[in-house]
Amino acid sequence: MGKTQDRHILIVGAGSMGIIMGYILQLSGAEVTFLVRPHRAEALSRPQKLYSYDDHQLKTYTGYKLITSPSEMLGAGYDYVVITLDGAALRNEVGQALVKTIGEAVRGTTTKVIVGTVFIDIRSWFLKATGLESEQVVSGQLVIHIYPTSAVTLPVHAPTDEKLLAQADQAYTDCLGPGMTLGDGSLAAANDFAQLWNASGVSTCNVVSEEQFSLNTSSLFPILAVCELLGWSSFQNLDSTDPLWRLAVAAVKEIQGLTIHGTIGQQAAGSTTDAGIAQVFAGIEKVMLPMDWQSFNRYHHGAKVNAQDRELLRVCITMGEADGKPVAAIKDLLQRVEHHASQA
């Protein structure tokens, strides 16, 4: 592919994830187009204001293009199509129709697809659904935390600039190392996209093995599930001997031990402890400040992508059973979360 200034990127979805990715890729010199539903086009017709919890400045994002029909991607010749839909949205009937159209548009071309949907083994599912060549499809995870300020108000911690935050459409932090992680299932495409992302000068992207990529994403979900049961309380006050916490960590170890995660998963399961995981998450919570991480998680995982999170646990159960394992902790945890939701 050519220089970053020559790149044409289509981002499927212009929610929080799509907006911050578009902003970063535009800083890299790429031309960005969003595929959005018609009702979203009006809101995106004006510049987007992005508040950074990292430098407490308000960024203005403009200069992108919009299309509202999936058929408009046919013959458009994008270098990359970046999918930002969550797992439930991508796998439902409407999402599968969109996936089919993406396959038709990309098949037989040099276009690559970044599947930024967080879900276990989503790349294999996408390859099967589209019939695309393996070298065209890359697993991606956005590590940047971002939310629409109109949808939720998080507790304010110093030194947040409340006046600037009040003007923002989106608020974000990119403080956990690489802002984007890619799997190496298509190594050349992953390295190329990482180079493009890194050219932004404001965020970094790294490439890891597919096993590590899946391990990093899927093993988080039992912790999010137990946070819902514990009322999204701060990790600073967590009792790692709490039976619910110990159940969640047991579920983490079951997911780590799935065959799909290979030897590194087995090694991770062997070293994971109740206290160790609690310490890791307490550390992340501190680094995330002044964004209130658990309040963000309550909004994002307790509501916005809750269906995706539960479905991921169900798929992990199916995978575990296929491996001949009882996965009793995942089953127990999912049952508790679903019961909790039914009482809400």
- CB contact at 8 A, 16 and 170: yes
pLDDT for the residue numbered 186: 98
pLDDT for the residue numbered 309: 81
- CB contact at 8 A, 138 and 184: no
CATH 3.40.50.720 fits 4-209, yes or no: yes
- Per-residue confidence in pLDDT tens, the chain, 344 aa: 445 668 999 999 999 999 999 999 999 999 999 999 998 899 999 999 999 999 999 999 999 999 999 999 999 999 999 999 988 889 899 999 999 999 999 999 999 999 999 888 999 999 999 999 999 999 999 999 999 999 999 999 999 999 999 999 999 999 999 999 999 999 999 999 999 999 999 999 999 999 999 999 899 999 999 999 999 999 999 999 999 999 999 999 999 999 999 999 999 999 999 999 999 999 999 999 999 999 999 998 876 556 778 889 999 999 999 999 999 999 999 999 988 888 76
pLDDT for the residue numbered 91: 87
Paired with 145 in beta bridges are 173
The single residue listed with the structure tokens 């890619």 is 182
Q: What residue ranges do the domains of the chain occupy? A: 4-209, 219-343
pLDDT for the residue numbered 6: 85
The token pair at 230 is 């514990």
